[in-house]
Structure 1
């Protein structure tokens, strides 16, 4: 997997640069602390590159990364991470794993201290990206015994393991793959925790997941030729900016998120499938023109839904599908997301419908019929939130408002019962702010 746009290019970027970059990303997202966590990569020579011990994770530089040669020689200006033993143990028993992330992200630590693992069948892509999660019993941090316990779990085929009263360790075929799994697993854990605050999470069965995957439509036919005039390139930049912003703010993760914007008529630009969202570039964006896709590229699997909405609603010029943790708490529980909390929430979103799982593939007409400029958001159970609007920045603002509102509702559940704006106040808002 190639990572672009200042991120991971395994064929071009040195392991030390990859590790420093991803550690910085993890730290900025609040998924590790100044002193906590470690990342390693095994290169083609069998040498292991690993983050150092006792160096600020928020300011880690490529020059700080330590190399432990295959013969045991240590090269670098710092001591290697004290957790090196379990990295080494995993690499020895799992040749398919070439990169490892260990950290103490808050939601996964919550599971580790109650001695439980998150059920990833709460969302389809969490199940696909993470799979089932292993569990390693407690041992002294940095000890050979801990390495043996974790390695034992990895022999069972897991790529993610909860460490009892400690944190988590995740592996993958490269660092891009590993980070995607790490981020998705923490998102899954957060969604479950927030969901349990407001209701009861409803898990998907294998039958539901398989049926969902089976109904994904074939891609649109390819264009024979494609052009990229200046207005089209400008929209590509806008999409990349919004995706990067969403990832940075925790409103989108590597493994899920689609953004599109209308270009000319019903033609539009949309994010691709299977490209990590953190690392999206303008070259990855897919042009959809005259019901055909840009040659050699595969647009989001929800392209037909975007197409249907644009065809039906000329006033809608941009769409975002994503998974943000507080909104997804409502998606996985089916609880009502009541936006009658503060005036701004209702003015922007009005009443948000919750639709059945899988509907964005099997009944796109229904979603296109519900979405319009005065009801710009819907939640799809165990799947996503969809937000639509005029300009892309406006649509992103709607998403932010929705997530902030959902966060307030989740947080208030522990201190009292929601008292919404009443019907009379809603009608006053409608009269003052809603223009048909």
Structure 2
């Protein structure tokens, strides 16, 4: 996928996204389907009973506006509800249906995930609809789903079935799908260790009202070879984080110190899966690269670099197991295995809202810890080399996952003080 999605053939768009969904473990070999309606009213859709792990562009079916089917396979058995959605909502140009585990958990207990669990999800997902169970592949199923979309929803939980989402294009639909599954996962993991807490609409509105691009623009920008190489590093790490489920397309900020306190940072309003070198924003002498809007968290990164000369890279992201601690306020004790404590030591939690109030940020930017969780928002990881910082993120997420999963077995028994002191002497002295 690239940003100019309209220049990519629907067949290629669909195969890219279904491959991404399958590799992320959000659907099975036989499950799920994707469609795009083009400007002619023709619908491009995944085929029925073809391996989702090896789909090629030539496998995608085109159902012409007059009903003629073009392709070597049958269209998805769920094609009727795709067609019904497009007829009900001309503004929707792409539909995703899948059976991601967390959302199916909500589907089978007949609940709707509360997207106020994290800051940006309500804005991305919108209100969530609920469609009663009907026979898969039936026109009746198409009717009940279309009825929900007619109410203005772009995301609908399907009772005892899964989820269906629409978007202005396939990137928009996938962002909604990914964000909703992330919310569901975070809520589920949070309930394993405590009680999830939700943001109020007022708090979310304050988050959305944050100023963007407040730094003045540079008159001109120099692109030196070492600067270009750092852009490449950022893009590679962002892609890797997305592939491993440590970042979602609609949220995540990565930066690298370039020279002195000047740095490079990811932009706002650009899908992280599609990030390219040209998207990265240079921040120099308190000014931003012209005609680009850096992340809304730019000021946090700037203050961390200004006050912490040993920090040369920062990752600010949402990963599901770390955010389970972020939404419950439970203490993440990383005395799980030696590596976790050596790399991370202590992970503190900052109250939601402090990350965009510049006058109340000492906890975040002074004596900056390796890892810090912001309630209902994100985790900040700092380090020297960017790959090292990414490693710290992986270790933190693995540690959080081990605690969440282990909680069903019994109480965690951490490494004791004497063992920690031995680690301190050998590895940190």
Common fold, TM-score beyond 0.5? yes
Cα separation, partners in 2 of 1:54 and 1:217, compared to 1, 3 Å: closer
Are 2:371 and 2:380, in contact at CA under 8 Å, matched by a contact in 1? yes
What is the aligned counterpart of 2:294 among 287, 293, 299? 299
Query: Which residue number in structure 2 is paired with residue 365 of structure 1?
Result: 362
Instruction: Tell me the CA shift for residue 215 of structure 1.
Output: 4.1
Map Cα deviations across residues 272-309 of structure 1 (whole Å, 9 max, x no partner).
00111111011100000111000110010000000000
The DSSP-based 3-state class of the residue aligned with 1:59 is coil
Are 2:120 and 2:204, in contact at CA under 8 Å, matched by a contact in 1? no
Are 2:88 and 2:150, in contact at CA under 8 Å, matched by a contact in 1? yes
Instruction: Tell me the CA shift for residue 63 of structure 1.
Output: 0.5
Map Cα deviations across residues 29-50 of structure 1 (whole Å, 9 max, x no partner).
1111111000000000111110
Which range is displaced more, 257-266 or 210-219?
210-219
For 1:305 and 1:403, the matched residues in 2 are separated by: 22
Q: Structure 1 length normalisation: TM-score?
A: 0.96
Instruction: Tell me the CA shift for residue 364 of structure 1.
Output: 2.9
What is the aligned counterpart of 1:393 among 363, 368, 387? 387
Instruction: Tell me the CA shift for residue 405 of structure 1.
Output: 0.1
The DSSP-based 3-state class of the residue aligned with 2:239 is helix
Are 2:210 and 2:296, in contact at CA under 8 Å, matched by a contact in 1? no
Query: Which residue number in structure 2 is paired with residue 317 of structure 1?
Result: 312
Q: Is the counterpart of residue 417 in structure 1 residue 411 in structure 2?
A: yes
For 2:346 and 2:30, the matched residues in 1 are separated by: 44
Are 2:26 and 2:98, in contact at CA under 8 Å, matched by a contact in 1? yes
Query: Which residue number in structure 1 is paired with residue 104 of structure 2?
Result: 109
Are 1:217 and 1:361, in contact at CA under 8 Å, matched by a contact in 2? no
Are 1:202 and 1:333, in contact at CA under 8 Å, matched by a contact in 2? yes
For 2:130 and 2:196, the matched residues in 1 are separated by: 21
For 2:317 and 2:213, the matched residues in 1 are separated by: 21
Are 1:358 and 1:383, in contact at CA under 8 Å, matched by a contact in 2? no
Are 2:255 and 2:265, in contact at CA under 8 Å, matched by a contact in 1? yes
Instruction: Tell me the CA shift for residue 408 of structure 1.
Output: 0.1
Are 1:242 and 1:396, in contact at CA under 8 Å, matched by a contact in 2? yes
Are 1:37 and 1:104, in contact at CA under 8 Å, matched by a contact in 2? yes
Instruction: Tell me the CA shift for residue 51 of structure 1.
Output: 0.4
Query: Which residue number in structure 2 is paired with residue 165 of structure 1?
Result: 160
Instruction: Tell me the CA shift for residue 429 of structure 1.
Output: 1.3
Q: 1:46-195 counterparts in 2 under 5 A? A: 46-195=41-190
For 1:176 and 1:125, the matched residues in 2 are separated by: 17
Instruction: Tell me the CA shift for residue 11 of structure 1.
Output: 2.7
Q: 1:201-212 counterparts in 2 under 5 A? A: 201-212=196-207
For 1:194 and 1:424, the matched residues in 2 are separated by: 31
Query: Which residue number in structure 2 is paired with residue 379 of structure 1?
Result: 373
Query: Which residue number in structure 2 is paired with residue 343 of structure 1?
Result: 338
Map Cα deviations across residues 159-213 of structure 1 (whole Å, 9 max, x no partner).
1001000000000000010011101111110000000000000011111112233
Query: Which residue number in structure 1 is paired with residue 424 of structure 2?
Result: 430
Q: Structure 2 length normalisation: TM-score?
A: 0.98
Instruction: Tell me the CA shift for residue 227 of structure 1.
Output: 1.1
Q: 1:208-219 counterparts in 2 under 5 A? A: 208-216=203-211, 218-219=213-214
The DSSP-based 3-state class of the residue aligned with 1:152 is helix
Are 1:308 and 1:364, in contact at CA under 8 Å, matched by a contact in 2? no
Are 1:52 and 1:64, in contact at CA under 8 Å, matched by a contact in 2? yes
Map Cα deviations across residues 200-233 of structure 1 (whole Å, 9 max, x no partner).
0001111111223334465211001011110000
The DSSP-based 3-state class of the residue aligned with 2:227 is helix
Query: Which residue number in structure 2 is paired with residue 405 of structure 1?
Result: 399
For 1:390 and 1:235, the matched residues in 2 are separated by: 13
Cα separation, partners in 2 of 1:134 and 1:345, compared to 1, 3 Å: same
Question: Would you say how many aligned residue pairs link Structure 1 and Structure 2?
Answer: 427
Are 2:92 and 2:166, in contact at CA under 8 Å, matched by a contact in 1? yes
Q: 1:226-245 counterparts in 2 under 5 A? A: 226-245=221-240
The DSSP-based 3-state class of the residue aligned with 2:278 is coil
Are 2:308 and 2:366, in contact at CA under 8 Å, matched by a contact in 1? no
For 1:67 and 1:9, the matched residues in 2 are separated by: 22
Cα RMSD for the two superposed structures: 1.0
Stretches of structure 2 that go unaligned for 5 or more consecutive residues are none
Query: Which residue number in structure 1 is paired with residue 276 of structure 2?
Result: 281
Instruction: Tell me the CA shift for residue 370 of structure 1.
Output: 4.3
For 2:210 and 2:262, the matched residues in 1 are separated by: 24
What is the aligned counterpart of 1:272 among 261, 267, 272? 267
